[in-house]
């Protein structure tokens, strides 16, 4: 079975982190992934600090295994969340959508393992200098907020540029993706989209069905002119975003259209006008499973894939 230094670093059995899906990755999913031997993550996203604190406490009730919290740095209360995770004794922090440099010293002094998501070599190097434990190199195949580079091109360049462990993210949905990530020099993977359809994932059933039905070309990137491009599954909402782009609309028009769109899909199951964040690998995700079976299946396939390659 694939093991790596990342397993030791995070105190986990399988070198897999669950992606921090905003509005979705709660105590139910995080605890299930951690209980299955991966690293479950609670998504801070734009949620109020007290909500995240409650989710942390609930997760502790549901698992005695390590889990983490993701801090989305565009959030207005990122600073408050950054302090709260220290008070709550969280073991691992991942970050997204920004540079967490100013918090690293505080987190390290509380014994927290710090693993920022990066979308470029430059940020990976800056993060290494600021003393983080590892980086997640996330390609633009992933769902949600994306950078410019693909996983295939980003991961090996980050691996060459830093000496700390690199976790690969973006487009990893099965054991072949895990094997490929290790081939690129990663010592772990982050998986989001596949966990959307996990039994323990509390996202609306309509969202799960949309992911399962998605084909290879069913995701698009919207909102480029806002400076925060987001990959989502195609629907009525994305067609309206595309019209705004054609018209060269002002940024506030995008904000108006996008306001509240994620909870609309996640909580209400509105798959027409809701924002269905998911990665390009959605086309490969075809069945609901519990997290334990999902992780086991992925790593069994990764082993077989690597054996096959070795025998060539
Ligand atoms: O953060 C994510 N994925 C996300 S965040 C999110 S919530 C949101 N909703 C609407 C608009 C924006 C955010 C949904 N999905 N992934 C990690 C990630 N981080 N991908 C790319 C980056 C990134 C991009 C630029 C990290 C740092 C960065 O530059 C920072 C700097 O200062 O250089």
- Quick one: pLDDT band at residue 220, thresholds 50, 70, 90? very high
**Beta pairing, strands 166-169 & 188-191:** parallel
Pocket flag, ligand 1, residue 100 (CB < 6 Å): no
Q: Is 220 exposed, middle or buried (0-12, 13-18, 19+ CB in 10 A)?
A: middle
pLDDT digits (tens, 9 = 90+) for 61-113: 999 999 999 999 999 999 999 999 999 999 999 999 999 999 999 999 999 99
What is the Cα Rg of the chain in Å? 18
Query: How many angstroms separate the CA atoms of 86 and 274, rounded?
Result: 34
Q: Is 104 in the pocket of ligand 1 (CB under 6 A)?
A: no
Cα 273 to Cα 207, 214, 219, 222, 258, distances in angstroms: 12, 17, 15, 14, 9
Q: pLDDT band for position 204 (50/70/90)? A: very high
What's the pLDDT at 307? Answer: 96
Chain center to CA of 75: 16
Report how far residue 91's alpha carbon sits from residue 60's, in angstroms, rounded to the nearest whole number: 11
Q: Residue 109 has what pLDDT? A: 98
What lies within 8 Å, CB to CB, of 143 at 6+ separation is: 19, 21, 192, 193, 219, 231, 232, 277, 278, 279, 282
- Separation in Å, CA 33 to CA 40, 67, 284, 300, 301: 5, 9, 20, 16, 18
Whose C-alpha lies nearest to ligand 1, atom 4? Answer: 145
Q: What is the mean pLDDT of the segment spanning 204-222?
A: 98
Confidence category of residue 181, pLDDT binned at 50, 70, 90: very high
Percent of the chain topping pLDDT 70: 100
| pTM over the 0.95 mark | yes
Q: Which of 74, 97, 192, 203 to mutate to test the pocket of ligand 1 (most atoms within 8 A of CB)?
A: 97
Mean pLDDT over each residue of the chain, to the nearest integer: 97
Distance 150 CA to ligand 1 centre (A): 15
Give the count of beta carbons closer than 10 Å to the beta carbon of residue 130. 17
Q: Which two tokens stand for residue 79?
A: 């600073």
CA–centroid distance, residue 57 to ligand 1 (Å): 26
User: What is the pLDDT averaged over residues 241-254?
Assistant: 96
Dist. CA 110–CA 220, nearest whole Å? 40
**CA gap 279, 146 in Å, rounded:** 10
Beta bridge partners of 188: 167
Size (the chain), residues: 312
- Which whole-number Å values give the CA distances from 261 to 125, 201, 257, in the listed order? 34, 19, 8
For 21-61, the pLDDT digits (tens) are 999 999 999 999 999 999 999 999 999 999 999 999 999 99
């Amino acid at each position: 079975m694939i093991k790596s230094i990342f397993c030791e670093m995070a105190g986990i059995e399988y070198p897999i982190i669950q992606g921090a899906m905003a509005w979705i990755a709660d105590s139910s999913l995080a605890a299930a992934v951690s209980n299955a031997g991966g690293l479950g993550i609670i998504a801070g996203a734009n949620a109020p600090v007290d909500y995240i604190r409650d989710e942390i406490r609930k997760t502790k009730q549901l698992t005695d295994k390590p889990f983490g919290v993701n801090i989305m740095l565009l959030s207005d209360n990122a600073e408050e969340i950054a302090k709260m995770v220290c008070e709550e004794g969280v073991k691992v922090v991942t970050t997204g959508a920004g540079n967490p440099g100013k918090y690293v010293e505080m987190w390290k002094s509380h014994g927290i393992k710090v693993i920022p998501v990066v979308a470029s070599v430059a940020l990976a190097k800056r993060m290494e200098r600021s003393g983080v434990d590892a980086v997640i190199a996330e390609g633009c195949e992933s769902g949600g907020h994306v950078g410019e580079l693909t996983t295939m091109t980003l991961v090996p360049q980050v691996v060459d540029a830093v000496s700390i462990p690199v976790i690969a993210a973006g487009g990893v949905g099965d054991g072949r993706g895990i094997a490929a990530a290790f081939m690129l020099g990663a010592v772990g993977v982050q998986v989001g989209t596949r966990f959307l359809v996990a039994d323990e994932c509390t996202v609306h059933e309509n969202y799960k069905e949309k992911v399962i039905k998605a084909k290879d070309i069913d995701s698009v990137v919207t909102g480029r002119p806002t400076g925060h491009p987001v990959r989502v599954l195609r629907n009525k909402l994305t067609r309206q975003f595309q019209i705004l782009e054609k018209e060269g609309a002002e940024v506030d028009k995008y904000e108006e259209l996008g306001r509240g769109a994620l909870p609309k899909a996640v909580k209400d199951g509105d798959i027409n006008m809701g924002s269905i964040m998911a990665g390009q690998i959605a086309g490969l995700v075809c069945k609901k499973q519990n997290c334990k079976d999902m992780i086991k299946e992925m790593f069994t396939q990764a082993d077989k894939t690597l054996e096959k390659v070795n025998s060539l």
